[in-house]
């Protein structure tokens, strides 16, 4: 395998971590290119369960190199505590490289986010409160941005921080007179402590990746979040603040998408979503609750119950087109095993018109009535299946329908959390 990418096609939590883990030992370099510690990836490795957030899943392989590329926003405190936590579980970590162009999350980002979310009231985005959106906003705005490379230049860092913290305190107080304020000196001292521990990992990862590509190294791009949370192509404003579809790879790493040999789109066999925003196939009934319980659909990062519903081929198809997938991995199929009947949304009806285009405006999406295709359930335990031909015919029909509607071949079917519980086609 040369260059592979793994991208979520829904609203995140598609179990990308499992496919990344399966593929990681076939790749020398694993690259995370977007998001931050808003992500939550569960990886089972050597009989242990690891919960990763900011670290690429490749970190659990001592002979692989993990790269946190420029598109990621880094909270150094969270990064160091994640490293400590994984080490304490007994894992041997691989080499970690961090882009000097990655932007840094500071405590005022979390404070600002809390105020902005509270001000939206019942229209809150439902963010993870990790300062992700406010850090990306500062990146785009430029005036208040600090990158990892700046931390290695203490005088410049100190000066920038003075200016920024002065402005941030004004902004925070203006929005909320009772808001806490920050001291540039305290943040400087705290962050210089983190820099001391991370500085040897900070490099120009763009040049590094290009040297490695030239030398023929294999690479795995590990997505976080999902295509429908993409800032440009998702359900704006109920999205995350980066390009979480396949579109983000090029900008977030400096590696052009034409270098990717295989783009794998990850889909859950049903729909889940955390936070606010429309979700046409959401089931607010017993079936939704059944899926939530069977799929353990509670957030890894925030512990929130996830909203669950039927598979939505309109929304997911949009994710697949925007990301440009070569094949899909159908995850958590076993979660549906006890249901008598299954539904897959094949089109929306909006104002009496049938469409398979995913609406770009929230009010249109809110009007979308799912048009379902009903399929029979298989009503049997499939967690032991290892070959496609061993699935009950109803499960085959379900997989084939997902594939047909997404116009993509199936490369993997997952029927349990263990590595072996994967049918590879």
**Residues engaged in binding ligand IMO (CB under 6 A):** 8, 11-13, 38-41, 125-128, 130, 132-133, 224-226, 229, 240-241, 274-275
Is residue 125 helix, strand or coil? Answer: coil
Angle made by CA atoms 71, 194, 196, in degrees to the nearest 5: 110
Q: Is residue 109 flagged as an active site residue?
A: no
Measuring CA to CA, how many Å separate 368 from each of 126, 185, 354? 22, 52, 9
**Could you tell me the two tokens for 380?**
């049997």
**Could you tell me the two tokens for 289?**
């609750």
Cβ closest to Mg ion, residue 13 vs residue 346: 13
Contacts of 143 (CB under 8 A, 6+ apart): 164, 167
* Strands in 60-179 per DSSP E: 65-68, 73-74, 95-99, 103-104
| Residue 125 contact among ligand IMO, Mg ion, none, beta carbon within 5 to 8 Å by kind | ligand IMO
Is residue 192 helix, strand or coil? Answer: helix
Shortest distance (Å) from residue 103 CB to ligand IMO: 14
Question: Nearest Cα to 27, choosing from 220, 183, 290?
Answer: 220
**Beta-bridge partners for 268:** 331
Shortest distance (Å) from residue 296 CB to Mg ion: 12
Cβ closest to ligand IMO, residue 75 vs residue 421: 75
Shortest distance (Å) from residue 116 CB to ligand IMO: 10
Applying CB under 5 A, the span of 7-15, 177-185, 239-247, 306-314 interacting with Mg ion comes to 7-15
Cβ closest to ligand IMO, residue 12 vs residue 317: 12
CA-to-CA distance for 424 and 366, rounded, in angstroms? 37
Q: Is residue 13 flagged as an active site residue?
A: yes
Shortest distance (Å) from residue 253 CB to ligand IMO: 16
Contacts of 259 (CB under 8 A, 6+ apart): 3, 213
Applying CB under 5 A, the span of 228-236, 259-267, 293-301, 332-340 interacting with Mg ion comes to 293-301
**Could you tell me the two tokens for 94?**
């691989």
Cβ closest to Mg ion, residue 13 vs residue 297: 13
Is residue 73 helix, strand or coil? Answer: strand
* Identified binder of Mg ion from the candidate list 10, 13, 53, 125, rule CB under 5 A: 13
Binding letters toward Mg ion, positions 24-53, x by CB under 5 A: ----------------x-------------
Shortest distance (Å) from residue 109 CB to ligand IMO: 11
Cβ closest to ligand IMO, residue 146 vs residue 274: 274
Mind telling me the catalytic residues?
13, 41
Q: Which residues bind Mg ion (CB under 5 A)?
A: 13, 40, 300
């Amino acid at each position: 395998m040369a260059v592979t990418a793994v991208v979520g096609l829904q609203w995140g939590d598609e179990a990308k971590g499992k496919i990344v883990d399966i593929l990681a030992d076939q790749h020398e370099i694993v690259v995370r290119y977007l998001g931050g510690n808003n992500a939550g990836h569960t990886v089972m490795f050597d009989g242990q369960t690891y919960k990763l957030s900011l670290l690429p899943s490749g970190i659990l392989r001592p002979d692989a190199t993990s790269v946190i590329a420029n598109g990621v926003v880094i909270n150094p405190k969270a990064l160091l505590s994640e490293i400590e936590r994984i080490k304490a579980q007994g894992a041997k970590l691989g080499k970690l490289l961090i882009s000097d162009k990655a932007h840094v999350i500071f405590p005022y980002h979390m404070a600002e986010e809390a105020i902005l979310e509270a001000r939206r009231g019942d229209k809150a985005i439902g963010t993870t409160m990790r300062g992700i959106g406010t850090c990306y906003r500062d990146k785009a705005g430029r005036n208040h941005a600090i990158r990892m490379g700046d931390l290695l230049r203490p005088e410049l860092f100190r000066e920038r921080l003075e200016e920024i913290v002065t402005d941030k305190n004004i902004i925070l107080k203006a929005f909320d007179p009772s808001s806490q304020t920050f001291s540039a000196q305290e943040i400087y001292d705290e962050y210089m402590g983190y820099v001391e521990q991370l500085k040897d990992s900070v490099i120009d990862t763009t040049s590094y990746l290009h040297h490695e590509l030239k030398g023929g190294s294999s690479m795995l791009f590990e997505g976080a979040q999902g295509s429908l949370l993409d800032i440009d192509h998702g359900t704006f404003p109920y999205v995350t603040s980066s390009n979480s579809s396949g579109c983000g790879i090029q900008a977030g790493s400096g590696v052009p998408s034409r270098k990717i040999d295989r783009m794998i789109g990850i889909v859950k066999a049903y729909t889940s979503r955390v936070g606010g925003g429309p979700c046409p196939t959401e089931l607010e009934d017993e079936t939704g609750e059944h899926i939530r319980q069977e799929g353990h659909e509670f957030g890894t990062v925030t512990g929130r119950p996830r909203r669950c519903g039927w598979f939505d081929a309109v929304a997911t198809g949009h994710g697949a087109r925007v990301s440009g997938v070569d094949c899909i991995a159908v995850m958590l199929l076993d979660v549906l095993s006890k249901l008598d009947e299954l539904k897959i949304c094949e089109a929306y009806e909006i104002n009496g018109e049938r469409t398979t285009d995913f609406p770009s405006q929230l009010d249109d999406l809110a009007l979308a009535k799912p048009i379902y295709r009903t399929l029979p359930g298989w009503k049997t335990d499939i967690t032991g299946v290892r070959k496609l031909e061993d699935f009950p015919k109803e499960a085959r029909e379900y997989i084939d329908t997902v594939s047909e509607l997404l116009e993509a071949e199936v490369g993997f079917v997952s029927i349990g959390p263990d590595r072996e519980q994967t049918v590879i086609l």
